[in-house]
Structure 1
Amino acid sequence: MENSGGIQASLGGRYAIALFELARDGKALDSVAQSLATLKAAIAQSADLKALTTSPVVGREAAGRAISAVATKLRLDSLTTKFLGVLAHNRRLSQTGSVIRAFETLLSAHRGEARAEITSAHPLSRSQVTALGTQLKARAGRDVALDLKVDPAIMGGLVVKLGSQMIDSSIRTRLNTLAQAMKG
């Protein structure tokens, strides 16, 4: 399997490669990807879950029990649940975010997709996401997996990262550019 050096070099990346290979060999890529997306959304919405995954104070056994309960509540697949148990046992729950990002990158490469990170000031509607996906597919020349983020600090517009390209049409950047020009 072709892996980028950046993914292999990071601790979260090595865990993601292991999870990806287990999922691929077990023909469970889609279920693991869905479980990780569910977990990612839950971490973004729950301060308590985020604290569980980032706190160095929580012990191995307590973290294992807590993450098992979370996995059951979120109805995560068995491979992802076991994997999270390994992260808890190894005191690596803090790597959960980087594991999810690296897994998404590996999955996109496996599917022949490009990945695009879209940051908006407000959540995008389904039709906006569809239109944006169509535009990016035309630009990239292949399917594009979208990773949507909301950051009110950009005030409006979008910041799109597609591979090594970045398109920043945010109001914050435009105001900063205007401020620099006025100093000038």
Structure 2
Amino acid sequence: MADLFRTTEVGGRYAQALFDLAEETGALDAVRADLKSLRAAWGESADLRRAMTSPIISADDQRKALVSIADAAGFNRSTRNFLGLLGQNHRARDLPAVIAGFEVLYAKKTGVVAAEVVSAQPLSAAQSKSIQSALRQALGRDPELTARVDPSILGGLKVKVGSKLFDASLKTKLDQMKFALKRA
């Protein structure tokens, strides 16, 4: 799912428009919080993903759905209006790319370093704190940690900071061992 959240040309243009609007209205942090909620909802709800990516659902129905979600969640007016426009233009399927593009713009503006940690099981508070401390030491500043569980990695961790990926997952190590054995 995380692979969906990368920027595209269209997503980047919409993200820039939303970012500019949020900056002008002084709602940058509120819009960012709204988009984080949307990102979580996108990841958790197969129904939401189907509704927003289906070519048979009309643009008006997608607009109504996005506006309803924004209203129910109490999103900022700028976010709500933007989501309505995204649905109206039949671009709801580009929502993950818009969110990714917005995060890139936000990070450039504020200097925030976002780090995604993927583990096979949920991290304890002590583990999260330890990872945060190690990243702080490596990066020279506090990262904003997002944790995600992916049982398919079997064990270990994957840590992504910007475009860099540190993969210490058991699945990757086993795949590397399998490849080495095939070459032998």
Kindly tell me: are residues 96 and 155 of structure 1, through their superposed partners in 2, closer, same or farther at Cα, counting changes over 3 Å? same
The equivalences for 1:167-182 within 5 A come to: 167-182=166-181
Q: Percent same amino acid among aligned pairs?
A: 39
Contact 1:122 1:150 in 2 (8 A): yes
- Hey, what does 1:116 align to over in structure 2? 115
Q: Structure 2: where are the runs of 5+ without partners?
A: 1-5
Q: Secondary structure at the match of 1:91?
A: coil
- Hey, what does 1:67 align to over in structure 2? 66
Calculate the aligned-residue CA RMSD, in Å: 1.8
- Deviation of the 1:82 alpha carbon: 0.5
AA aligned opposite 1:67? L
CA offset digits 1:129-164 (Å, max 9, x no partner): 232122112101123223333222111111112234
- Hey, what does 2:80 align to over in structure 1? 81
- Deviation of the 1:107 alpha carbon: 1.0
The equivalences for 1:88-167 within 5 A come to: 88-167=87-166
| Cα distance in structure 2, aligned partners of 1:139 and 1:154 | 24
Moved more, 32-41 or 124-133: 124-133
Q: Secondary structure at the match of 2:165?
A: strand
| Cα distance in structure 2, aligned partners of 1:176 and 1:59 | 43
Aligned length: 178
| Cα distance in structure 2, aligned partners of 1:115 and 1:11 | 22
Contact 1:118 1:159 in 2 (8 A): yes
| Cα distance in structure 2, aligned partners of 1:163 and 1:73 | 32
TM-score (norm 1): 0.88
Q: Structure 1: where are the runs of 5+ without partners?
A: 1-5
Q: Secondary structure at the match of 1:169?
A: strand
Q: Secondary structure at the match of 1:122?
A: coil
Moved more, 29-38 or 135-144: 135-144
| Cα distance in structure 2, aligned partners of 1:74 and 1:113 | 25
Contact 1:43 1:49 in 2 (8 A): yes
- Deviation of the 1:115 alpha carbon: 2.5
AA aligned opposite 1:18? A
